[in-house]
Structure 1
């Protein structure tokens, strides 16, 4: 296939096989930053450092990823996208190799930082899929990639635990490095060349991030909606192990990891949300997804003493988050099609900032009031998200009136 001037494939669009390959790659890129979370104690013992020092790699991975979102994702509007995504994946594989063959903690820190920085290749692939797909099915394409990405995040902890039990904590990094290289090579041969028909300079791209946020009110509202939703779910992710491993349930790490796999089923909602967005049901999908988040926290509150309620709440929350996220992206990508990578950088930076804040607030809530305080915090963030959604609906209605009068 050859690339047309607008970045789409010559006589057609991306095949389902190509989209599936991109989804797997996005999942591996995103999941590579979560491998360390269930392995911290083993890493500390293996490298002779404290648990606190090992835990610092979790924060490092998040900060490096956030930096990559700001500095590297805008390159998708400047450079040829296939080569850019493949190159970033290759560099992320180098980071995984450093971690997998780390002889000391400093080497692990370097590998973690490199992996986090360059694994933002996933955020190059997502808008690329929207650009190269049939416009009538772009929501489906984005939903498929986000299903892969979210599945990678949710499954990473369980996969890491299983591989660690087979060959030690370093095995997951070595296996994922090889998988990353193989996927990068496959994408290079499968994907067509794609370039922004109106490329801008790098400095202009970075400067334009703020301008895009100022210019598009719905980018601000949808980014805030995503941040509050992901922040709410991060309250759960940062404290669930404390609850499940505590006296109320007494589960071991393997059992907690298996419960985490329940969330993979919820991640599959992303594909359905994309299809609904294509049919003009994006706003309804967002509202239903926010409601699922709120109902999920109600079930999770009961799950403090009853494991069945916890599993149900966990599933509802993991169904609600991708529904919000995909419908958000269907809105923001339509705001400025020629600047999708930069639009994505603004949105995703805000999105992960919300996640980091949610994790910190969740830990503080646990210290102050235990699981009930965490549930109250999670529900409060969802209610704020509902208020932002109401504001976004007013913005959308106002834009519709302006277009009709024009």
Structure 2
């Protein structure tokens, strides 16, 4: 084995490059979330319309999942990934140069659509990986993706404090330019054998749901998990800023601590490769329930350390379930992995987005105690569904 060799079948540098690509791309969806109060007035958006700053990016990402990601089963994958990175670079530069709401929102939409290139890279990596190490590869790449999500908000806050809100978008464009060059020179090409038309490819995405019960069940589990993830990260900053008296910078440090949950992704991949998918899924769902129960007590006691530990547990639980789910769905079809992944991720994203709304509503109605109770209740319901109705959907294939 050469010094760059890796038992997964991918070289270590390539595996790290693909992981970094996913993280850097997806981070662009979240940079503006903590900067709404700063960006809105500068580009001329009223407080009532400021929510569009993040909504357009999220809508773009949802559209990209449904309409762009399935192309991974039709066109050469490296070329698609490079196209997505290039589009995201242009989107970030457009956001940074915007002086009015129209150009900002259009650039945000483009950024969201192209950020789904991460979901082109992930199935590509699964194709390049050895079957017996596929879970480990997915886990490593997903850890990069989660680090991108979790680090995006604090990085945006720190950059805004140092050099203004536009600096994070310029920095992201620069980082993605470097990523594009590395992908161009080091990422292998993969041309799918599928010869369907684009319309047939898109129609086939939704047929995957009807065809594969495992896909439906795993999408259900992860949609619920992603919803409580969003619930936590919507309501927890409100608890920290309000009753616990934190500053915005302290909240950013809290988010950095929560990023520790991303370390569970490689572990999840190894467990999946050893055939422990059912038990890992069970553990993830128990962790969600325990995490929210613990978060309720931690906030009531005013303990920052305990609250941060529960954040790590919740993030880790979401990753454990995500990786085991993708290990299963990528085994469903060798030729339709991008379509299966598009169906899975679109369901997860659409349903999971409701968690942010639920987090705001429950915190407004009953404070963190109600938000934590809602998260624990959703976790308990999905745990019951798993125990009662899984019936082999979470067995390794």
Q: Is the TM value for this pair above 0.5? A: yes
Paired residue for 1:67? Answer: 63
C-alpha distance in 2 between matches for 1:203 and 1:392: 34
Are the aligned partners of 2:217 and 2:390 in contact in 1 as well (CA < 8 Å)? no
Are the aligned partners of 1:158 and 1:261 in contact in 2 as well (CA < 8 Å)? yes
Are the aligned partners of 1:218 and 1:392 in contact in 2 as well (CA < 8 Å)? no
Aligned residues: 389
- Is 1:311 the counterpart of 2:308? The answer is yes
C-alpha distance in 2 between matches for 1:130 and 1:199: 21
Write the deviation string for residues 363-389 of structure 1: whole angstroms up to 9, x where unpaired. 221222221111111111111221232
Select 2:104's aligned residue among 108, 112, 115. 108
Are the aligned partners of 2:258 and 2:308 in contact in 1 as well (CA < 8 Å)? no
Q: 1:193 to 1:110 in 2, by over 3 A?
A: same
Alignment of 1:281-360 (within 5 A): 281-305=276-300, 306=302, 307-360=304-357
Write the deviation string for residues 52-95 of structure 1: whole angstroms up to 9, x where unpaired. 32332112211110110000000000000000011111011100
C-alpha distance in 2 between matches for 1:392 and 1:176: 43
Q: Which moved more, 1:252-261 or 1:201-210?
A: 201-210
Write the deviation string for residues 204-252 of structure 1: whole angstroms up to 9, x where unpaired. 1111112110010110000000000111111111111211000x21001
Paired residue for 1:6? Answer: none
SS of 1:371's equivalent? helix
Are the aligned partners of 1:217 and 1:395 in contact in 2 as well (CA < 8 Å)? no
C-alpha distance in 2 between matches for 1:387 and 1:341: 30
Paired residue for 1:369? Answer: 366
Are the aligned partners of 1:42 and 1:169 in contact in 2 as well (CA < 8 Å)? yes
Are the aligned partners of 2:213 and 2:393 in contact in 1 as well (CA < 8 Å)? no
Are the aligned partners of 1:209 and 1:342 in contact in 2 as well (CA < 8 Å)? yes
- Is 1:224 the counterpart of 2:228? The answer is no
TM-score computed with the length of structure 1 as normaliser = 0.92
Write the deviation string for residues 115-139 of structure 1: whole angstroms up to 9, x where unpaired. 0011100000111111111111111
C-alpha distance in 1 between matches for 2:64 and 2:268: 27
What is the root-mean-square deviation in Å for CA atoms of aligned residues? 1.8
Are the aligned partners of 2:28 and 2:152 in contact in 1 as well (CA < 8 Å)? yes
Q: 1:277 to 1:205 in 2, by over 3 A?
A: same
Moved over 3 A (4+): none
- Is 1:138 the counterpart of 2:134? The answer is yes
Select 1:267's aligned residue among 256, 262, 269. 262
Are the aligned partners of 1:228 and 1:382 in contact in 2 as well (CA < 8 Å)? yes
Paired residue for 2:87? Answer: 91
Paired residue for 1:36? Answer: 32
C-alpha distance in 1 between matches for 2:142 and 2:389: 22
Are the aligned partners of 1:221 and 1:391 in contact in 2 as well (CA < 8 Å)? no
Deviation at 1:257, TM superposition (A): 0.6
Are the aligned partners of 2:57 and 2:108 in contact in 1 as well (CA < 8 Å)? yes
SS of 1:200's equivalent? coil
C-alpha distance in 1 between matches for 2:101 and 2:350: 27
Select 1:192's aligned residue among 185, 188, 191. 188
Paired residue for 1:253? Answer: 248
Deviation at 1:392, TM superposition (A): 5.4
Q: 1:389 to 1:122 in 2, by over 3 A?
A: same
C-alpha distance in 2 between matches for 1:164 and 1:92: 20
C-alpha distance in 2 between matches for 1:91 and 1:49: 25
- Is 1:235 the counterpart of 2:231? The answer is yes
Are the aligned partners of 1:79 and 1:199 in contact in 2 as well (CA < 8 Å)? no
